[in-house]
């Protein structure tokens, strides 16, 4: 193992690091990263962070998480409280050195700095894997992680089928709402005159292709917040399964939290056995304890800021044990209610045990639903409305 | 164009960028990739495209997206009335050379914003505004334009760009965009500006306003944004408010919360937000008693407001 990693491998390693944290960074993105590094004058290498951020980020969530991941990878000594996940010592990476080496390599080859492909990057195996060769094996391997021991593969097909049916039943139960917005359809009662006249232009003014419109019907948006803290350890697998069923069947959005909140919708939609590892990677670095109020606040103000409306349903899977001040949960849920969302609390026990925080916020929750096993969850459609 | 020049150029064009945005714009030009801008309403997403066009002396072509936007309005449309007239004319007078005219000639094509940007001889700036308001089918159509800078017209074939436009897409996040679209674009999330940057923006737009007024007002807006508002005021709202305060001949923020409340309509655009930000909240945001504002100014404001 060389002391200083080659620039191409360093970039590929960083890409793998990002992929492990839910970023979609493929070969084209890595080529763009290299091109940006080569085009940027050496004196301005400090700008590489913002350039790469534009390339690898694709939504507000990844945008917010990127700086921390960048620091963690390139400047691990600056990250306070970071935990080394293996016993191996490793020479610290140096971004300026990497960029300089990249430029030198290009100059020695007498190639144009604009062409990353000419570096043979496309053939490099370093970037093609799914993060296996990074050697860091991020949070997934950490014994501290509450989900690490659970295996998604142990579920029977019939159980999964039941969960999907459950999500469908909930979807049928929550009535589709008529929207103010209209949609164009091939058959309906109301003719869309404007579009019909426009279509008739191509037939010399004869309305041969009438267009119709009707009010759009949409399902309420469903959001699922799953508590994956230590106290919820044994239920997390069941709840993540439920979340996946909802994501697939009714296009719900799913989040996990213990001390922070992270969206996992895209991870759940991917049909792969490695979902568990990826979720672990996303939640890696969360501290101990459970901060429900902070997480709900973050959900209202950041993740679902524009998506919450009077048609939203929020299902919280948690035992309600919160390390935030007890009154904070009520304040956070009040904000959630203020956006018009209906909150249902799914409790992992047969009888609801109210923590202090939950007792104070009780009036803000539309319903408490026991969800300690698959059987109890089957009552869910009847309780949500 | 060099990164430093982009910074300077945007400033000259009336836009104060942060480092990340300047880098993203530079990269969009260097890699010839579209730039997707997301962020809350009023943070200046649309004006980035306008400023880039001014900076480079390019034409700005804007496509405002809305629900129901279709290809005829966004890309091209055949000029049916001209085609009909031409059919009638050619029926009456046979052409001298005996050749039948082509009904789907390029001269019968009405170019809409996307095709106009693709077929422009000089590079332009193409702004696709509020892409999240357009339907998913239209978003799917955009993929060809954004990836290859080409448009396929079935009757004519594929029209490839003669000059690569700088494409800027904006989204307010009212609908989740497809992964396919996101992957074809560079991405930048436009945040609310820092205090110093917002002061600089306001000073650039309102050079005639008193520096003290600008600084105090922007500091107030920053505190206001931390309140639990439904519609957080953006830069445009800050500018409107300070413009209003300047028109009232104020040299600094008045002490009296009631007077500030009378002008807060420039920033708080929903009934709930107006109700939530009462005199008490304004007083708290002002930071209690403040020195240096004369009672005369505050007293005169009421008369002035009555006149307005």
A201 band by pLDDT with thresholds 50, 70 and 90: confident
A32–B31 CB contact, under 8 Å? yes
**Weakest mean pLDDT among A99-103, B75-79, B151-155, B258-262:** A99-103
A156 band by pLDDT with thresholds 50, 70 and 90: low
Chain A contacts in chain B segment 3-22 (CB below 8 A):
3, 19-20
- In this predicted structure, what is the pLDDT of residue A88? 43
A183 band by pLDDT with thresholds 50, 70 and 90: low
Q: Does B97 touch chain A (CB under 8 A)?
A: no
Q: Crossing angle for the helix pair A27-39 and A48-56, nearest 10 degrees?
A: 160
Q: Is a pLDDT exceeding 70 seen at residue B171?
A: yes
- In this predicted structure, what is the pLDDT of residue B96? 63
B24–A306 CB contact, under 8 Å? no
**Weakest mean pLDDT among B162-176, B232-246, B294-308:** B294-308
Structure ipTM over 0.85, yes or no: no
More confident residue, A8 or B47: B47
Q: Does B228 touch chain A (CB under 8 A)?
A: yes
From chain A, the residues in CB contact with B88 under 8 A are: none
Most confident listed range (A8-17, A68-77, B109-118, B143-152): B109-118
Average pLDDT over residues B14-29: 90
From chain B, the residues in CB contact with A202 under 8 A are: 78, 80
Residue A346: half-sphere exposure toward Cβ, Cα within 13 Å: 30
More confident residue, A267 or A193: A193
- In this predicted structure, what is the pLDDT of residue A151? 41
Q: Is a pLDDT exceeding 90 seen at residue B64?
A: yes
- In this predicted structure, what is the pLDDT of residue B80? 87
Nearest CA in chain A to B87: A204
Chain B contacts in chain A segment 273-332 (CB below 8 A):
305-307
Average pLDDT over residues B147-168: 90
Measured between CA atoms, how close is B216 to chain A, in angstroms?
26
pLDDT, mean over chain B:
85
Question: How confident is the model over A114-154, as pLDDT tens digits?
Answer: 444 444 444 333 333 333 333 333 322 222 333 333 344 45
Q: At B279, phi and psi to the nearest 5?
A: -55, -35
- In this predicted structure, what is the pLDDT of residue B130? 93
**Weakest mean pLDDT among A54-58, B211-215, B223-227:** B223-227
Query: How far, in Å, CA of A135 to CA of A126, rounded?
Result: 12
Among B68, B130, B137, most A C-beta atoms within 10 A, so best to mutate, is B68
Q: Is a pLDDT exceeding 80 seen at residue A374?
A: no
Of A63, A64, A181, the CB nearest to B67: A181
Q: Is a pLDDT exceeding 60 seen at residue A265?
A: yes
Query: How far, in Å, CA of A31 to CA of A27, rounded?
Result: 6
User: Cβ(B19)–Cβ(B169) under 8 Å?
Assistant: no
User: Cβ(A250)–Cβ(A222) under 8 Å?
Assistant: yes
Q: Where are the domains of chain A?
A: 7-137, 179-217, 221-383
- In this predicted structure, what is the pLDDT of residue B98? 64
- In this predicted structure, what is the pLDDT of residue B50? 93
Average pLDDT over residues B21-34: 92
- Tokens for A70, please give them: 């960048």
Query: How far, in Å, CA of A225 to CA of A86, rounded?
Result: 31
B151 DSSP β-pair partners = B159
From chain B, the residues in CB contact with A53 under 8 A are: 20, 187
Q: Does B58 touch chain A (CB under 8 A)?
A: no
Of A55, A181, A198, the CB nearest to B186: A55
Average pLDDT over residues A12-19: 88
Q: Does A75 touch chain B (CB under 8 A)?
A: no
Residue A179: half-sphere exposure toward Cβ, Cα within 13 Å: 15
Q: Is a pLDDT exceeding 50 seen at residue B298?
A: no
A93 band by pLDDT with thresholds 50, 70 and 90: low
Q: Is a pLDDT exceeding 70 seen at residue A2?
A: no
Q: Does B23 touch chain A (CB under 8 A)?
A: yes
From chain B, the residues in CB contact with A47 under 8 A are: 3, 19, 23
As assigned by CATH, the class of the A221-383 domain is alpha beta
Question: How confident is the model over B73-111, as pLDDT tens digits?
Answer: 899 999 888 888 888 888 777 666 666 778 888 889 999
A235 band by pLDDT with thresholds 50, 70 and 90: confident
Strands (E), chain A: 177-185, 190-191, 212-218, 221-227, 253-257, 261-263, 312-317, 342-347, 367-370
Of B20, B30, B72, the CB nearest to A53: B20
């Amino acid at each position: 193992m060389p002391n200083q990693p080659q620039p191409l491998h360093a970039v590929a390693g960083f890409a793998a690091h990002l992929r492990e944290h839910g970023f979609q960074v493929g070969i084209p993105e890595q080529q763009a990263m290299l091109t940006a590094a080569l085009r940027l004058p050496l004196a301005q290498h400090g700008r590489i962070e913002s350039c790469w951020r534009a390339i690898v980020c694709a939504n507000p969530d990844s945008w917010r998480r990127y700086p921390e991941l960048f620091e963690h990878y390139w400047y691990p000594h600056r990250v306070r409280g970071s935990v080394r996940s293996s016993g191996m010592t490793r020479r610290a990476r140096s971004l300026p050195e990497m960029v300089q080496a990249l430029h030198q390599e290009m100059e020695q080859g007498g190639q144009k700095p604009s062409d990353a492909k000419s570096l043979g990057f496309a053939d490099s195996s370093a970037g093609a894997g799914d993060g296996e060769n990074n050697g860091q094996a991020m949070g997934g391997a950490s014994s501290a992680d509450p989900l690490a021991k659970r295996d998604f593969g142990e579920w029977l097909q019939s159980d999964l089928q039941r969960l999907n049916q459950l999500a469908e039943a909930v979807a049928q139960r929550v009535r589709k709402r008529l929207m103010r917005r209209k949609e164009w359809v091939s058959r309906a009662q109301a003719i869309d005159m404007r579009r019909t006249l426009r279509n008739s232009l191509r037939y010399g003014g004869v309305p041969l292709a009438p267009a119709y419109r009707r009010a759009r019907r949409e399902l309420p948006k469903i959001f699922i917040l799953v508590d994956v803290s230590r106290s919820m350890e044994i239920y997390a697998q069941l709840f993540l399964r439920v979340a996946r069923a909802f994501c697939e069947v009714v296009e719900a959005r799913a989040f996990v939290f213990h001390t922070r909140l992270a969206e996992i919708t895209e991870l759940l939609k991917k049909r792969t056995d490695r979902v568990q590892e990826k979720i672990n990677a996303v939640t890696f670095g969360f501290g101990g304890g459970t901060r429900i109020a902070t997480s709900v606040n973050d959900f209202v103000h950041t993740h679902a800021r524009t998506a919450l409306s009077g048609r939203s349903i929020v299902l919280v899977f948690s035992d309600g044990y919160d390390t935030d001040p007890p009154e904070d949960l009520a304040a956070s849920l009040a904000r959630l209610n203020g956006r018009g969302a209906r909150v249902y609390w799914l409790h992992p026990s047969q009888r609801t045990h109210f923590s202090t925080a939950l007792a104070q916020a009780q009036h803000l929750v539309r319903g408490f639903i026991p969800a300690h096993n698959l059987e109890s969850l089957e009552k869910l459609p009847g309780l949500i409305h | 164009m060099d990164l430093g020049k982009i910074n300077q150029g945007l400033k000259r064009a009336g836009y104060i960028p942060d480092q990340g945005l300047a880098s993203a714009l530079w990269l969009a030009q260097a890699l010839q990739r579209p730039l997707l801008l997301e962020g809350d309403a009023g943070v200046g997403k649309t004006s980035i495209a306008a400023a880039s066009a001014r900076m480079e002396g390019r034409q700005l072509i804007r496509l405002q997206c809305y629900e129901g936007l279709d290809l005829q309005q966004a890309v091209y449309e055949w000029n049916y009335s001209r085609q009909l007239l031409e059919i009638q004319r050619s029926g009456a007078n046979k052409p001298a050379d005996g050749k039948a005219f082509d009904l789907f000639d390029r001269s019968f094509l009405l170019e809409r914003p996307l095709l106009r940007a693709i077929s422009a001889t000089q590079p332009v700036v193409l702004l696709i505004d509020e892409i999240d308001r357009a339907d998913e089918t239209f978003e799917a159509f955009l993929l060809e334009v954004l990836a290859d800078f080409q448009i396929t017209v079935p009757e004519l074939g594929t029209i490839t760009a003669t000059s690569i436009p700088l494409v800027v897409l904006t989204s307010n996040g009212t609908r989740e965009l497809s992964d396919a679209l996101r992957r074809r674009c560079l991405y930048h999330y436009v945040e609310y500006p820092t205090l110093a940057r917002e002061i600089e923006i306001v000073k650039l737009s309102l050079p005639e306003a008193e520096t003290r007024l600008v600084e105090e007002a922007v500091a107030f807006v920053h505190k206001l944004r931390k309140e639990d508002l439904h519609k957080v005021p953006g830069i445009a709202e800050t500018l409107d408010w300070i413009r209003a305060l300047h028109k009232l001949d104020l040299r600094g923020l008045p002490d009296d919360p009631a007077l500030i409340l009378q002008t807060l309509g420039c920033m708080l655009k929903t009934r709930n937000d107006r109700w939530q930000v009462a005199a008490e909240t304004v007083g708290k945001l002002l930071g209690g008693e403040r020195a240096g504002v004369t009672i005369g100014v505050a007293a005169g404001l009421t008369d002035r407001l009555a006149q307005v």
